[in-house]
Structure 1
Amino acid sequence: MNSKKSFNRKEKVYTILSKSYVVALVMLLAPLLNHLDRNFSFFFGLGIVWLILWVSGFNWSLFGFSKITGRTILRAVIFTMFLIVADTCITLIIEPIFGEPNLASLKGIKHDTVEYLVTLIIVWVFASFGEEFLFRGYYMKWLATLMGNKDWAWIASGIITSIYFGISHYYQGPAGMISIIMWSLMISAIFYKNRMNLGLVILIHGLHDTYGLTMIYLDMENPLAEFIKAYLSNFTFK
């Protein structure tokens, strides 16, 4: 009897949370929690996602999860290399205008192996998995469904989600927000073309952040950025 009541409660919760308009309400309510702490917004959204996942009987396909194969990993590596090049070019344009992003919270990992490894674990769990699970698997996918699940709805959802994602990183300053919006648009485009392969964008996010953290740990400038600057210095514009 108790198990039947529990099942009925879960079914009722799922019926409510799976309403198409709920994702819009969550996206509107979550930022209000930033007044308490900037992480509350993220964990509120993630909590809703885990609740939906639980009451659905852990139906991961609701968020675009599918089996990660060797081909998925290979594609993730290739996409990551492309994104690093694109992100570097965007950064070279943005930073002279808006300055460098505020990454003060990561300065502690410089030449500190333990701190670096701990940060890597946190990034893979909460940034690559957590953020993609929330922003692409829930916000983008479910918002596209709310708008009709057509191609145009996915494109619009990707743009809205990317801006939303960038603004959520307001603590990195204007340069950080703009570069993250541009990066998120590229990730959203990849998910748009791979709607049932959330694992792909999770891997891309993790590999991309690992590269960035490694540069900070080694206290190195982005070698690709230095190469581009050196290459462009060979040209004179009249």
Structure 2
Amino acid sequence: METKRLNKAISETGFCSRREADRLIEAGKVKVNGTVAGLGVQVTRTDKIEVEGKLITKEVENIYLAFNKPVGIICTTDTSIRDNIIDFIKFPERIFPIGRLDKPSEGLIFLTNDGDIVNKVLRSGNNHEKEYIVSVNRKVTQTFVRQMSEGVPILETVTKKCKVERISDYTFRIVLTQGLNRQIRRMCSYLGYEVTRLQRVRIMNINLDGINVGEYRHFTASETEEINRLVANSDKTMDASFD
């Protein structure tokens, strides 16, 4: 009978990502057939997996949602935290966000129950584009556009070169393939600008078109096919916050 690693088996049920599964296993919160399991354990489809006393081996179809996050919603699965994204959406199956948008930011974020796809999408080395419209408190100059696009020193590194386009005196478009923590806000701050509005409008091949603030839609079949094509050769190791 085919076997798979325990963390992969957990993620495929939609309970959480592989990374979170590893944390739960290390904390001794996962049992296989009634016995506390360790990292690297192999399981089959007949094994009973419990997380924190809850049987999770029910299989559900993969779910992929595009959500237009409002300002003030926090991208966490911890439902003890006020204004968390899970309670806001109230989706009937267990899902989790792919990456995050910080609380003051708004726009597109993916949610899924497919733990296998999460790190493939997140890893900055895979060069998956994320597009933002950003408003700032000072006029957007050509010098600012050039400096932002060429790379800015933040968080003990220099940001990757990126596409930046002036939209109006106080608004610009930026396309990143990187996901450092609060990257755009930190880049602007380094150059003496303060972000007044930050909206993510596209991730890879999916944009916000037709999704009202606070609402979500399922990926279409063609979008899902294209996402899977784009991540087919992606490294699964995560090193980006996707913020």
Greater relative contact order (Cα 8 A, min sep 6): structure 1 or 2? 1
Greater fraction strand: 2
Structure-2-length-normalised TM-score = 0.24
Greater fraction helix: 1
Structure-1-length-normalised TM-score = 0.25
